[in-house]
Amino acid sequence: MLLIIYLSIFIILISNIMMFLSIILSKKSFSDREKCSPFECGFDPKSSARIPFSLHFFLITMIFLIFDVEIALIFPIINLFKLTNFIIWTKISFFFILVLIFGLFHEWNQNMLNWTN
């Protein structure tokens, strides 16, 4: 037990020494203009790199992610077909697909699926 404690202290000591040496010996250049600018094929950027992204694109991404996760939840329903009663399986599958269709219909009514507004 004492050997494990000594070995742990030795490993922590060596790792701290290595981190300290890397901080001391590393070349730092905080005022380098090239590192502060975004990379754009070696050319200077034409506009600001920190422009806000489109909220509509973000919402389309969230819709895709939600439906992608729901499709991943549909796959186990196929395996449940062998283990459960057919009527119960049909009701559960129908309810799940119905929730997906209502979600899609709601997004359609909110004009979330139209790319150009």
Residue 70, phi then psi, degrees to nearest 5: -65, -35
pLDDT at position 100 is 84
Let me know if residue 81 belongs to a domain: yes
pTM comes to: 0.45
pLDDT digit string (tens) for 17-43? 999 998 888 766 565 666 666 665 655
In the chain, the number of structural domains is 1
Handedness of CA 85, 86, 87, 89 (dihedral sign): positive
SS3 for 39? coil
The answer to whether residue 11 is domain-embedded is: no
Query: For the residues 55-67, what does the mean pLDDT come to?
Result: 79
The answer to whether 112 touches 63, Cβ cutoff 8 Å, is yes
Question: Environment class of residue 58 by beta-carbon count within 10 Å: exposed (0-12), middle (13-18) or buried (19+)?
Answer: exposed
Best-predicted range by mean pLDDT (33-47, 48-62, 64-78, 91-105):
91-105
Whether 77 is in a domain gets the answer: yes
In a domain, 62, yes or no: yes
The answer to whether residue 7 is domain-embedded is no
66 domain-assigned: yes
Letter string b/e over residues 14-47, b meaning 16 or more CB atoms within 10 A of that residue's CB: eeeeeeeeeeeeeeeeeeeeeeeeeeeeeeeeee
What digits encode the pLDDT tens for the residues 78-109? 887 788 888 888 888 899 889 888 988 888 88
**Count of alpha carbons within 13 angstroms of residue 90, beta-carbon side:** 3
Tell me whether residue 91 is in a domain. Answer: yes
Residue range of the domain that includes 102: 52-109
Calculate mean pLDDT across residues 54-61: 76
Tell whether 16 is covered by a domain.
no
